Structure 1
Amino acid sequence: MADMFHSQKPIYQQLADRIKKQIISGELSPGEKLPSIRETGLEVNVNPNTVSRTYRELEMVNIVETKRGQGTFVTEDEGVLRSIREEMKNEIITIFVQEMQEMGYTNDDIQSGLGEFLSKKGENEA
């Protein structure tokens, strides 16, 4: 799993993004206990200090809560969870639009292309 990391962003931030995605997708539920720092380090093949920094960063923005002697848990605060979802959506859309614009697509091109894509995807799922 170590190959899931790339060099453009620090590993602790990539790991934090992965945890956020797991929360958004429902893979991690509100109030659920995260694996220990040691377990996560072994799972993703990174130094436990990196995992510790990831958990601290997530705790600073109230995404997780550490309970002394019990572990680290996903927040149950619905406002925080909505905020994470919105933040991640905006981040992905921003990257997508920037890349499309770098290739010379206009906003109208992007919007119509996305509309066509979603229409076709909806037809395939029906």
Structure 2
Amino acid sequence: MDIRQVGALTFQLDFSQPLYEQILEQIRSALAKGEIGLGEKIPSVREMAHALKINPNTVMRAYKELERDGLTEKRRGQGTFVTTSEERVKTFRAELVKEYIDDFLNKMESLGYSWEDIEGYMQERGSRRKGSDLT
């Protein structure tokens, strides 16, 4: 695992996994957590590629997908910026929640757990987390 800083963003890269997917997921995560503000400029493709020591085409692929998702927008002559739409980010966060929950439920069901089992474990874990002040 290689940790690299690019502007305000920190990337953890695993060179055994597709790099564009890692960049995409880590930028999405930073957006969802609010680590990158609405309308904020993100590093150029060249800046990002240089700082991460990877091919610019890899960064371009991730940036295109972010733009396709409506999470970023290109401004001619200025660069790439995070969307200014608070609604789009809220929608994206809601989509992430659904995706993570579905993944979790699918994994649990593949292990043979019923909804009642899953619900019981969730209540138990929730109680422990509340009791120990973990967030």
TM-score (norm 2): 0.81
Flag the 1:83–1:59 CA change in 2: closer, same or farther, 3 A. Answer: same
- Whole-angstrom distance in 1 between the partners of 2:116 and 2:98: 19
Identity over the aligned pairs, expressed in percent?
Answer: 37
Task: Compute the TM-score of the two structures, normalised by the length of structure 1.
Answer: 0.86
Describe the shift of the 1:5–1:87 C-alpha distance in structure 2 as closer, same or farther (beyond 3 A): farther
| Structure (1/2) with the larger helix percentage | 1
Q: Any gaps of 5 or more consecutive residues in structure 2?
A: 3-12
1:110 matched to which residue of 2? 118
Provide the residue aligned with 1:123 in structure 2. Answer: 131
- Matches of 1:5 and 1:29 in 2, distance apart? 30
Q: What one-letter code is carried by the residue in structure 2 that aligns with 1:15?
A: I
Q: Which residue of 2 aligns with 1:74?
A: 82
Q: What residue identity is the alignment partner of 1:124?
A: S
The within-5 A match list for 1:55-74 is 55-74=63-82
SS of the equivalent of 2:58 reads: helix
Q: Which residue in the other structure is 2:57 paired with?
A: 49
Aligned partners of 1:86, 1:95: CA distance in 2, in Å?
A: 14
Find runs of 4+ consecutive structure 1 residues off by over 6 angstroms. Answer: none
Q: Which has the higher contact order (CA 8 A, sep 6+)?
A: 1
Question: Can you give the 5+ residue segments of structure 1 that lack an aligned partner in the other structure?
Answer: none
Name the structure with the higher strand share. Answer: 2
